[in-house]
Structure 1
Amino acid sequence: MAALMHAGRATYAFFERNWNLTKRYLAWEVVWVIFNIVNSLSVTFIGLSAKQFAPQMVNHLILTFLIGSSVWTYLSVTFEGVTDMITIERWEGTIEHTFMAPISRFTHLVGSCWYAVAHGLLFTAVQLLVVCAFFSLDLSHANYLSAIFIMLLGSISFIGMGIGASILPLLFTERGTQMSFIVRAVLLLVSGVYYPIDVLPVWMQYMAYVSPATYVIQGLKEALINGASIWSPVMWANTWPLIIAGIVTIPVGIYIFGIAERYAKRTGKLKRNG
């Protein structure tokens, strides 16, 4: 019990530390909130313009674009939770101190991921409140419980992918951050954020099937547009891939991170900051 309480306090310590780092770079938080709101509005206005061609499809298109842009914001912030903190610690020159702390790497990464989920939810909530104020949406059939469930489930698998991607800034200070952006851009392209995945070339559709974002977006559409319940077959079709992805990506991500950490320590790469 004492060991469990110690791990819990250590996990919260990383949550609090990441919050303090976020406050230190608060101006960038404001920049990204405004950028994501403007991006979401720009995309969603495309759906509103459809009333010139198919008035009966306007609400569906607006919700589709709003869901896509909002989910992408949430999953991106969650994905970046560990990656950005590694980058910031490289810049600050504190990463060696973190690695010397008497806690397991699992506790370290889970604490950062816990903060990433909370950060992503807050980010997305602000974006949704602002964007929804511009549109009259029909959400009478929405199942909000299913929507929250699928988002939280999806964030688990994205956290695993984020842990794996965080080895890039761990090993390569500036280039690693650039490479992690490329990873997210590819996920954006193949996950059907703004369009059905069946419009993609066949070889890209195979990539879509392994992206957790694909199932989160499809599940949210079913929950918010069609009111699907958590236990409905259509929701289960999007739930089980996310469960498998979470089970696989988190331990694999932590294992790969451990290998990269040992390599970085052995080769002196942690001293390369700034």
Structure 2
Amino acid sequence: MSSMIHQGRAAYAFFERNWNLTKRYWAWEIVWLFYNIVNSMSVTFIGEGAGGIANVKLSPESTNRLILTLLIGTSVWSYLSVTFEGVTDMITMERWEGTIEHTFMAPISRFTHLVGSCWFAIVHGLLFTCIQLFVVSLFFHLDLSNANYLTAAFMLILGSLSFIGLGIGASVLPLLFTERGTQMSYIVRAILLVVSGVYYSVTVLPGWMQVLSIFSPATYVLNGLRAGLMDGAPIWSITIWNDIWPLIIAGIVSLPLGIYIFGVAERYAKRTGKLKRNG
């Protein structure tokens, strides 16, 4: 029991450390939040003006549904981006601070280290997403009378486990490639953006890309959120369950795999002296 308490405190210490690093770079946080809000508004305004673009008259119900589809897509994409960066940026920040070697030499398991950083990334991402949704909702009249918020919250939290697993795997890039490693991690997010149906249904994709969408946890998070917020589907419904079990499998696979990949990359970085490079 004492060992578990010690590990829990150590994980919280990394949570607190990451929070303090975020406060140090608070200006970047404001810039990124502003960008996410403006980007979300720009995409959502497409739904507002879709009828004029297509030269057809859409009913208020159809317009509302289109706006919600795009708003949910941009919100999940922002959450995924912030969560990913919550993991990968910590490696970059520790290089800037010159503390990465000390962290890796600390008498603490890598699992505890990553759990603390990942929980901070989840909280950070949820906070950003909630602020973004609140601000964007001020510009649109949204009908959420049928929304099931319990389903939406459950799907987002469940999907976070898979997102974190992918984020840990992608964080090896800034660990191994000092100069442009963080930017290289954008490749993972870009692939998820294309194949997951963030702004459109995956049915419009070519057949081979639809196959890729099956392996993206974001696909199931988006499906579940849209079913919960737009159609009021409860957690126990078949519609939601069809998105729950793939997320459970994705979380079970991606988290251990991401930690294993990080461990392999860490040992390689130590052996080759890459941790000494701060520029």
TM category (shorter chain) comes to over 0.9
2:235 aligns with one of 220, 230, 242: 230
Q: What is the SS of the residue equivalent to 1:174?
A: coil
For 1:78 and 1:233, how far apart are their aligned partners in 2? 28
Tell me, yes or no, if the aligned pair for 1:228 and 1:235 is still in contact at 8 Å. Answer: yes
Count of residues in correspondence between the two structures: 274
Q: What is the SS of the residue equivalent to 2:49?
A: helix
1:215 aligns with one of 217, 220, 230: 220
Task: Between 116-125 and 55-64, report the one with greater CA deviation.
Answer: 55-64
Q: What is the SS of the residue equivalent to 1:44?
A: helix
**How many angstroms does 1:174 deviate by?**
2.3
State the one-letter code of the partner of 2:14: F
**How many angstroms does 1:138 deviate by?**
0.5
State the one-letter code of the partner of 2:36: N
State the one-letter code of the partner of 1:79: F
1:66 aligns with one of 71, 81, 84: 71
The aligned residue for residue 269 of structure 1 is 274
Tell me, yes or no, if the aligned pair for 1:187 and 1:213 is still in contact at 8 Å. Answer: yes
For 1:214 and 1:250, how far apart are their aligned partners in 2? 18
Q: What is the SS of the residue equivalent to 2:180?
A: helix
Q: What is the SS of the residue equivalent to 1:173?
A: coil
The aligned residue for residue 17 of structure 2 is 17
The aligned residue for residue 43 of structure 1 is 43
The aligned residue for residue 2 of structure 2 is 2
For 1:40 and 1:101, how far apart are their aligned partners in 2? 40
Q: Provide TM-score, normalisation by structure 1.
A: 0.98
Q: What value does the CA root-mean-square deviation take over the aligned residues?
A: 0.8
1:87 aligns with one of 92, 112, 118: 92
Matched, 1:141 2:146: yes
For 2:237 and 2:82, how far apart are their aligned partners in 1? 29
The aligned residue for residue 31 of structure 2 is 31
**How many angstroms does 1:91 deviate by?**
2.0
The aligned residue for residue 242 of structure 1 is 247
Percent identical: 73
For 1:209 and 1:272, how far apart are their aligned partners in 2? 38
Deviations 1:88-121 (A, max 9, x none): 1122211000001111000000000010000001
Tell me, yes or no, if the aligned pair for 1:50 and 1:57 is still in contact at 8 Å. Answer: no
**How many angstroms does 1:215 deviate by?**
0.5
For 2:179 and 2:189, how far apart are their aligned partners in 1? 16
For 2:178 and 2:256, how far apart are their aligned partners in 1? 24
Runs of 4+ aligned structure 1 residues displaced above 2 Å come to 50-53
- Equivalent residues in 2 for 1:86-235, closer than 5 Å: 86-235=91-240
For 1:178 and 1:135, how far apart are their aligned partners in 2? 33
State the one-letter code of the partner of 2:157: L
**How many angstroms does 1:203 deviate by?**
1.0
The aligned residue for residue 78 of structure 1 is 83
For 1:183 and 1:85, how far apart are their aligned partners in 2? 17
For 1:143 and 1:51, how far apart are their aligned partners in 2? 28
**How many angstroms does 1:51 deviate by?**
4.4
**How many angstroms does 1:82 deviate by?**
1.2
**How many angstroms does 1:273 deviate by?**
1.0
Tell me, yes or no, if the aligned pair for 1:51 and 1:57 is still in contact at 8 Å. Answer: no
For 1:178 and 1:139, how far apart are their aligned partners in 2? 37
Q: What is the SS of the residue equivalent to 1:242?
A: helix
Tell me, yes or no, if the aligned pair for 1:90 and 1:170 is still in contact at 8 Å. Answer: no
**How many angstroms does 1:185 deviate by?**
1.1
